Chains A and B, each alone.
Chain A
Amino acid sequence: MGRKKAVLSVNGKIRDLHSLPGHYGWFTALTSFLPGLFIVLVWIIFGSNLVDNFTLAALGDEIRSLSNFDRALYMNDIHNLAIGDAISRPLTNSLNNATNFYLRTQNNLLWIFTLSAIGVSSLLAIFSFRKISPELRSRNLVERLIIIMLVISSSIAILITIGIVSSLIVETLRFLEHVSLSEFLLGLKWSPQTALRADQVGSSGSFGAIPLFTGTLLITFIALLVAVPVGLFSAIYMTEFASPNARIFFKPLLELLAGIPTVVYGFFAALVVAPVIRNSGEVIGLEIASESALAAGLVMGIMIIPLISSLSDDVISSVPQSLRDASYGLGATKTETIVNVILPSALPGIVSAFLLAASRAIGETMIVVMAAGMAANLTANPLEAVTTVTVQILALLTGDQEFDSAKTLSAFALGLALFTITLFLNFIALKLVRKYQEQYD
Chain B
Amino acid sequence: MDKTTVQELIQPTIKARNVDVYYGETHALMGIDLDIAPKTVTALIGPSGCGKSTFLRCINRMNDTIPSCRMTGKITLDGEDIYSKNIDVVQLRAKVGMVFQKANPFPKSIYDNVAYGPRIHGLAADDKDLDEIVFSSLQRSGLWNEVKDRLDKSGTALSGGQQQRLCIARTIAVNPEVILMDEPCSALDPIATAIIEELIADLKERFTIVIVTHSMQQAARLSQKTAFFHLGKILEFGDTSEIFTNPRVEKTKDYITGRYG
Chain A residues within 8 Å of B, Cβ to Cβ = 243-244, 320, 322-333, 336, 340-341, 344-345, 439
1/0 per position for B94-128, CB-CB distance to A under 8 A? 10011010101111100000001100110000000
Shortest C-beta distance, B160 to chain A (Å), equals 14
Closest 7 CB pairs of A and B: A331-B93, A331-B94, A322-B104, A329-B98, A330-B117, A326-B104, A331-B90
Is A320 a contact of B104 with CB atoms below 8 Å? yes
Chain B minimum-CB-distance residue to A334: B65
B170 proximal to A (CB < 8 A)? yes
B89 to chain A, nearest CB (A): 8
Q: Give the A-B contact count at a CB cut-off of 8 A.
A: 66
| Residues of chain B from 163 to 199 with CB closer than 8 A to chain A in the complex | 167, 170-171, 174
A337 to B, closest residue via Cβ? B120
Pairwise interchain contact B100-A330, C-beta atoms closer than 8 A? no
B107 touching A327, Cβ below 8 Å: no
Sampled A-B contacts (19; CB under 8 Å): A322-B100, A323-B107, A326-B100, A326-B167, A328-B93, A329-B93, A329-B97, A329-B100, A330-B97, A330-B117, A330-B120, A331-B90, A331-B91, A331-B121, A332-B116, A336-B120, A341-B106, A344-B107, A345-B106
- In the bound complex, how far is the Cα of B98 from the Cα of A71, in angstroms? 86
**Contact B62–A329 (Cβ < 8 Å):** yes
The answer to whether A340 touches B121 (Cβ under 8 A) is: no
With A330-B170, A340-B120, A341-B106 given, name 16 new contacts (CB 8 A). A244-B67, A322-B100, A323-B107, A325-B65, A326-B100, A328-B65, A328-B93, A329-B97, A330-B94, A330-B117, A331-B91, A331-B117, A332-B120, A336-B120, A344-B107, A439-B156
Distance of A327 Cα from B93 Cα, bound (Å): 10
Q: Within the assembled complex, what's the spacing in Å between the Cα atoms of A323 and B156?
A: 12
B62 and A328 form a contact (CB under 8 A): yes
Candidate in A320, A324, A327, A439 with the most chain B CB atoms within 10 angstroms: A327
* Complex partner residue of A323 from B93, B106, B117, CB under 8 angstroms: B106
Given A328-B65, A329-B100, check contact A344 B116 (CB 8 Å): no
- B65:A323 contact, CB within 8 angstroms: no
Tell me how far the C-beta of B66 lies from the nearest C-beta in chain A, rounded to whole angstroms. 10
Nearest to A436 among chain B residues (CB) is: B107
For residue B60, CB closer than 8 A to chain A, the reply is yes
Q: Is the CB of B67 within 8 A of A243?
A: yes
CA distance A325 to B61 in the complex (A): 11
Query: Which range contains the number of B residues in contact with the other chain?
Result: 20 to 34
- B98 CB contacts on chain A under 8 angstroms: 325, 329
A340 and B67 within 8 A (CB)? no
Q: Of the candidates A332, A341, A439, which one forms a contact with B90 in the assembled complex, judged by CB atoms under 8 Å apart?
A: A332
Closest B residue by C-beta to A244: B67
Q: List the A residue with the shortest CB-CB distance to B108.
A: A344
Alpha-carbon distance between A326 and B94 when the two chains are bound, in angstroms: 12
Bound form: Cα–Cα A330–B172 in Å: 10
Assembly CA distance A336 to B117 (angstroms): 11
Chain A proximity mask over B64-108: 1 for CB below 8 Å, otherwise 0: 010100000000000000000000011111100110101011111
CA distance A243 to B68 in the complex (A): 11
Chain B residues within 8 Å of A322, by CB: 100, 102, 104
Chain A nearest CB from B58 CB (Å) reads: 13
**B100 lies within 8 A of A331 (CB):** no
Q: A326-B106, A328-B62 are in contact. Are A333 and B90 (CB under 8 A)?
A: yes
A345 in contact with B170 (CB, 8 Å) = no
C-alpha spacing A333/B121, complex, angstroms: 10
Residue of B62, B67, B117 with highest tally of chain A CB at under 10 A: B117
Residues of B within 8 A of A341 (CB): 106
How far in angstroms is the closest Cβ of chain A from B133?
A: 13
Cβ–Cβ contact B67 & A330, under 8 A: no
Is the pair B120, A331 in contact by a Cβ cutoff of 8 Å?
A: yes
Give the residue among A243, A328, A336, A340 with the most B Cβ atoms within 10 A: A328
Q: How far is the CB of A248 from chain B (nearest CB, A)?
A: 13
Q: When the two chains form their complex, are residues B97 and A327 in contact, meaning their CB atoms are under 8 A apart?
A: no
Bound CA–CA A38/B91 (angstroms)? 74
Tell me whether A327 and B100 are in contact (CB under 8 A): no
A329 touches B90 (CB 8 A): no
Given contacts A244-B67, A322-B102, A340-B120, contact A330 B107 (CB under 8 A): no
Q: How far is the CA of A343 from the CA of B120 in the complex (A)?
A: 16
| Closest CB in chain B relative to A319 CB, distance in Å | 9
A368 to B40, CA, bound (A): 70
- Who on chain B is nearest to A439 by CB? B107
Complex-state Cα separation, A439 to B65, whole angstroms: 25
Shortest Cβ distance from residue A414 to the other chain B in the assembled complex, whole angstroms: 42
Residues in B neighbouring A326, C-beta threshold 8 A: 100, 104-106, 167, 170
- CB neighbours of B60 from chain A (8 A): 329
Contacts of A323 in B (CB 8 A): 104, 106-107
Q: Which residues from chain B contact A333 at a C-beta distance below 8 Å?
A: 90
Instruction: Report the minimum CB–CB distance from A9 to chain B (whole Å).
Output: 53
B105 / chain A contacts, CB cutoff of 8 Å: 326
- State A329–B65 Cα separation when bound (angstroms): 11
How far, in whole Å, are A415 and B60 apart by their CA atoms in the complex? 59
- The CA-CA distance from A2 to B174 in the complex, in Å, is 74
Shortest A382–chain B CB gap in Å is 38
Query: Bound state CA distance, A129 and B108, in angstroms?
Result: 65
CB contacts (< 8 Å) of B120 on chain A: these are 330-332, 336, 340
With the chains together, A331 CA to B60 CA distance in Å? 9
Question: Which of B93, B94, B100, B156 has most chain A Cβ within 10 Å?
Answer: B93
In angstroms, how far is the closest chain B Cβ from the Cβ of A241? 12
